[in-house]
Amino acid sequence: MPELAEYDEKLNIYEKSLNQVKKIVLDIFRGEEIQIILFGSRARGDFNRFSDIDIGILPKNECNKKKITILKEKL
Q: Which residues of 28-49 are buried (b: 16+ CB within 10 A; e: fewer)?
A: bbeeeeeeeeeeeebeeeebee
Read off the pTM: 0.75
Domain ranges in the chain?
2-74
pLDDT digits (tens, 9 = 90+) for 43-71: 998 887 788 899 999 999 988 889 999 99
Question: Residue 38 has what pLDDT?
Answer: 94
Q: What CA–CA distance (Å, rounded) separates 42 from 51?
A: 8
Question: What is the four-CA torsion angle of 32, 28, 72, 67, rounded to 10 degrees?
Answer: 60
CA atoms within 13 A on the CB side of 18: 19
